[in-house]
Structures are given as structure tokens and as C-alpha cells.
Amino acid sequence: MLRSAAVRRSLSKGEVSSLLSYRYKSSFATALNTAARLVTPKALLNNPVSLVSNEMNTLAKNIVTLIGSGHPLLNRISGYYFEAEGKKVRPMLVLLLSRALSQIPLEERDRIKIDYTDVPEDPVYSKVQHSRLFENVPASISPLHILHGIKPLNPLTKGPEPLPQEFDRARGILPKQRRLAEIVEMIHTASLLHDDVIDHSDTRRGRPSGNIAFTNKMAVLAGDFMLGRATVAISRLRNPEVVELVSNSIANLVEGEFMQLKNTAIDADHTTFNNGTQHIPPPPTKFELTEHEYRVPTSSTTNGTQLSHDQLVDMAFDYYLHKTYLKTAALISKSCRAAAVLSGVRDPIIEECYEFGKNLGICFQLVDDMLDFTISAKDLGKPAGADLELGIATAPVLFAWREDPSLGPLIKRNFSNPGDVEAAALAVKKYDGVGKTNELAKDYCNKALQNLRNGLPNSDARSALEFLTNSVLTRRK
């Protein structure tokens, strides 16, 4: 704020504007400045990682300990994606959220549920509730000679060392929350190994993808192994609710992938797949396979009435957003919820943490879908323009379809005819599909920011989360 006219006259017009705008800083600017003050050296200014730098610096090393195998080839490919510099957004969110939750007083963190009838006799469970928050992750639950197999002195897989606790109390991140961050990154990386095989990708994080460097079979098996090690680590958290949340996110990833492989909102023929070229085998006669009660609407008619073009597009958007949640946002939202559960906070805050992860995850994928149209493969670190080539209609295409109904047949046949990809790309450009997707991403970003403010007390960690949330909109890879 300027104190006098004399002061105002001594400043340039640009400086006055800058000072005046400072009074009305946005939450983004506040988050940026808060994060910047906490980072050293100056080269790392504006980096929210500073608040969880100890944990992030050792993340890959700890994960390799979790997934390490006695077989050299399996060991090599399992750690392959951790060697390159990835975004590591998911574990960073878990760690920052854990720090933010630690600002809530212990007396308000009393939601620790343990089913004593389903827990073996263990002195850990005889502790008072608050101290249970700080308990470490056991190296194993079953006897080691059973886990290690017939040659217990030379196991292929073994239990990890317990987490050190010295830093946790000072930084507010509980031992189990740190292990959760590592598990989440393991699940995400396993999905990348599988995705690169499914999508025939050549590159990942700026170098040959796992399927190219090691073959498809090894990449799939390594992804399976990593998921297996992740589920072992989940069980050692000894929290049934967290085990259910994180394990279910793995199933969500697969459900989302199937929604993408067979878009039933566009193609109502449930007897074929692969653009109608392959028939689904008939169902078994010995038992009935039933879908559960909730399904995304997948019919072009309602009560025998043909849907309008706008209604069809709306239904396609519902399907797309649900698929986006399952493929991308489920792991983020459920890991955020799990971090809140492990912190012992009460239900309203747990819900806000979950909604934050859901809204941020959808925002993240919307931006990813935009980048597929706007960034080169070199900058993206993976093939650009891949979605259309794979026959996937993302938000930019759906926005274009709303303006140009002729795109419908192209979307239905997954852009499989010559010229389909080019026609869809031109329509996205003509009808500003990228710009409209950006506006939708902003809406989800704003919802995520509101969730943070509703659920968390003001703190450096919350400011860093706000900064990170806003930065999703401007990322380039």
C-alpha cells in the first residue's frame, strides 16, 4: 500500500501497479510466495517440494528396497522407470497433504478404527490412540521363512526395513503416510509399464519405454510384480480401510482401461469389440455374470425415444469423465483419502481430502488430454497425438463434436478410416476444443482449491498444495 503522494511520485507506473496488485494477491500468488520463502537455495524458488524434500529425495531409493528382487533381470526392469526424472505428483500430494493434516490438533484426530476381532495379539494394538498414529510399518506380518520360500537364507523377495522415525514427528508426516506415498508411486509406475505395452509406446520419460527396452512380456511381468509388492506393502499398513481404498484403486485403473477399450456410450453393441471386427465369446451357461447396480448410461434411446445430439454428447461427456476418474483420479483421490484416514482426522475433513484428490485428478487428466494436441513428443516425454491414433475421443474432440455432428461416425469407429485422425484434429482446432477443455480444467482446479480451504487449516503445506494445484494448469509435460 502506498503511504503518500510523494512516495507515489517516486515510483514508476509499473512499480505502482505492482504494489497495488500486491494488496489483492490471489491464492495462487500467496501459495507461490509462501513456497518460495521456504526453499533454499534460490535456484529452487517456487518449488513446493521443499516442504517434503527429505521424503522426495529418498522416495525412489525406498521404493527400490520395497520391490527389490534377487533375480537380476527382474530387479533391473522393476527399477527402470524410477531412474528417470518423473513428475512424482502422486507421492508429493500424499506427503504435502500429510504435512497439512498434521496441523490439526491431536485431540481433533481421534478417528482411528481398529477391528480388534480381526487383529492378531500384538502389543502395538494395546497402545493409546494418539501413539498409534506414530507406529511404524512392520517389516513383515507372516513368518519370514514362509515369505521367503524353500531357501530362506537367500530369498528372491523379502520384507523392507522399517521406516526411520526421527524426522516424522518434526515434519508432521507419519511413518505410514510416507509408506503410503511410496506405494502410490509403485502402483502408478506399474500402470505405466502396462500402458506402454497396451498402447505400443516407444518412449517414456524421455527414453525407450519398458516394452522397447525389455520386451512386452518382461514389461507386463514387471508391472505385475510391482503390483504384487505394492499389495504386500499395503497390508503392512495394518489399516483395513486404507487397504480397501488403495487396493480398490488398482481395480479402478483396470475398469477405466476397459471403458476406454470399449466405449459403450458411443457403441451400444455389447457383442463385439475392436471396432466391431471381433465378437465377444458367449456368456457361460453354468452361472450368470451380472453387472453391479451402478452403470454409466450407455443407450442412445431413453424409454424408446431417440436422444438429441446434445443429449448424446452430454452422455459421452459423462462417460468420459467417469472413465477419467477411474483411470487417473481414483488413485489420487483414494490415496488422499487414505492419508487423511491414517492421520486420524474426522469424517468431514476426510471427505474434503477425497474430493480434493478427485477434482485435482480430473483436472490433471484434462490438461494431459490438451497437451496431446499442443505439445511435441520431445517436450511431452512420450508420443504426442497418441490419443487420436489410438482411437480415443478425449474432451477436446467431444467439445468439437458438440459443434460438428459429423464427427459422430468418426468417433464411433475410433478414427479407424484413412483421414479420420486428420479430420478430427482439424475440427478440434476449428471449434477451439483445446480452449474449452482448458476452461473445464480450470473449473475442476477451482473446486480442488476450495476443498483445500474447506478442510485444512492455513499452513505452509496447504499453501504449497494450492501452488501445486494451480501449477497443474500450466504444466508442459
| DSSP secondary structure of 286-323 | SS-----S------SEETTEEPPHHHHHHHHHHHHHHH
- Whether residue 233 is predicted with pLDDT greater than 70 in this model: the reply is yes
Question: Does 252 lie in the same domain as 231?
Answer: no
Residues 309 and 443 in one domain: yes
My answer on whether 297 and 341 are in the same domain is: yes
Same domain membership, residue 359 and residue 375: yes
The average pLDDT across 113-118 equals: 47
Q: Which residue in 460, 352, 475 sits closest to 52, CA to CA?
A: 460
Q: Is residue 167 part of a domain?
A: yes
- What is the pLDDT at residue 441? 97
Confidence check: pLDDT of 31 > 70 = no
pLDDT band per the 50, 70, 90 thresholds, residue 118 = very low
Cell 505428483 belongs to which residue? Answer: 89
Question: Does some domain include residue 352?
Answer: yes
Q: Are residues 160 and 263 in the same domain?
A: no
Split at pLDDT 50, 70, 90, the class of 131 is low
Rounded mean pLDDT of 420-434?
93
pLDDT digits (tens, 9 = 90+) for 285-319: 888 777 766 555 555 555 557 788 998 999 999 99
The answer on 420 and 392 residing in a single domain is yes
Q: Which of 175, 206, 238 is a domain's end point?
A: 238
What is the share, in percent, of the chain residues with pLDDT greater than 90?
Answer: 42
C-alpha cell at 174: 507419519
Which are the contacts of 475, defined by CB distance < 8 A and separation ≥ 6? Answer: 87, 367, 371
The 10s digit of each residue's pLDDT in 243-279 is 999 999 999 999 998 888 888 777 777 787 777 778 8
Bridge-based pairing of strands 278-279 and 207-208 is unpaired
Would you say 373 and 396 are in contact if contact means Cβ atoms under 8 Å apart?
Answer: yes
Task: Tell me the mean pLDDT in the region 56-80.
Answer: 85
Using DSSP bridges, classify how beta strands 207-208 and 305-306 pair: parallel, antiparallel or unpaired.
unpaired
Looking at residue 292, its pLDDT comes to 64
What is the domain extent for residue 396?
Answer: 241-455
Of the three residues 238, 259, 274, the one that is the final residue of a domain is 238
Residues 150 and 257 in one domain: no
Grid cell at residue 350: 476426510
Q: How far apart are CA 96 and CA 214, in angstroms?
A: 35
Can you read off the three cell numbers belonging to residue 118?
A: 480381526
32 in a domain, yes or no? no
- Look up residue 111 and give its three cell numbers: 478417528
pLDDT digits (tens, 9 = 90+) for 346-370: 999 999 999 999 999 999 999 999 9
Among 68-72, 132-136, 236-240, 303-307, which range has the highest average pLDDT? Answer: 236-240
pLDDT value for 185: 95
Q: Residue 88 corresponds to which cell in the numbers above? A: 512424482
DSSP 240: H
Instruction: Look at residue 153 in the predicted model and tell me its pLDDT.
Output: 54
From 206, 238, 270, give the residue that closes a domain: 238
Task: Let me know whether 386 and 288 are in one domain.
Answer: yes
* pLDDT reading at 409 higher than 50: yes
Residue 9 has a pLDDT of 41
In-domain check, residue 37 = no
Q: What is the DSSP letter of 385?
A: T
Residues 163 and 255 in one domain: no
The answer to whether residues 191 and 340 belong to one domain is: no
Residue 16 maps to a domain:
no
Q: Are 430 and 400 in contact (CB under 8 A)?
A: yes
Domain count, the chain: 2
| Residue 193, in any domain of the structure | yes
- Rounded to an integer, the average pLDDT of 433-456 is 97
**Residue 375 CB partners (closer than 8 Å, separation 6+):** 384, 476, 477
- Beta-carbon contacts of residue 400 (< 8 Å; ≥ 6 apart): 407, 424, 427, 428, 430, 431, 433
Mean pLDDT of 2-18: 40
Which of 319, 210, 318, 204 minimizes the C-alpha distance to 259?
Answer: 319
Residue 449 within a domain: yes
**Predicted confidence (pLDDT) at residue 65 exceeds the cutoff of 90:** no
**What pTM was estimated for this model as a whole?**
0.81
Q: Which residues contact 255 (CB under 8 A, 6 or more apart)?
A: 326
Are 175 and 102 in contact by the 8 Å Cβ rule? The answer is no
Mean pLDDT score across all residues of the chain: 80
* pLDDT tens per residue across span 138-183: 777 777 667 766 665 555 666 566 665 554 566 788 889 999 999 9
DSSP, collapsed to helix, strand or coil, labels residue 276 as coil
DSSP assignment of 131-148: HHTTPPPPS-SS-HHHHH
pLDDT value of residue 203:
86
CATH code, 315: 1.10.600.10
Domain check: are 253 and 191 in the same one?
no
Q: In the prediction, which pLDDT does 15 show?
A: 41
The whole-number pLDDT of residue 63 equals: 87
Residue 25: what pLDDT?
Answer: 41
What's the one-letter identity of residue 272? T
- 175 in Cβ contact with 136 (< 8 Å): yes
pLDDT at 455: 96
| Residue 77 in this model has a pLDDT that exceeds 70 | yes
| 33 in any annotated domain | no
DSSP 86: -
Encode burial over 81-120: b for 16+ CB neighbours within 10 A, e otherwise.
bbeeebebbbbbbbbbbbbbbbebeeeebebbeeeeeeee
* Amino acid, res. 148: H
Q: Are residues 283 and 212 in the same domain?
A: no
Over residues 365-392, mean pLDDT: 76
Categorise residue 208: left if φ over 0, alpha if ψ from -120 to 50, beta otherwise: beta
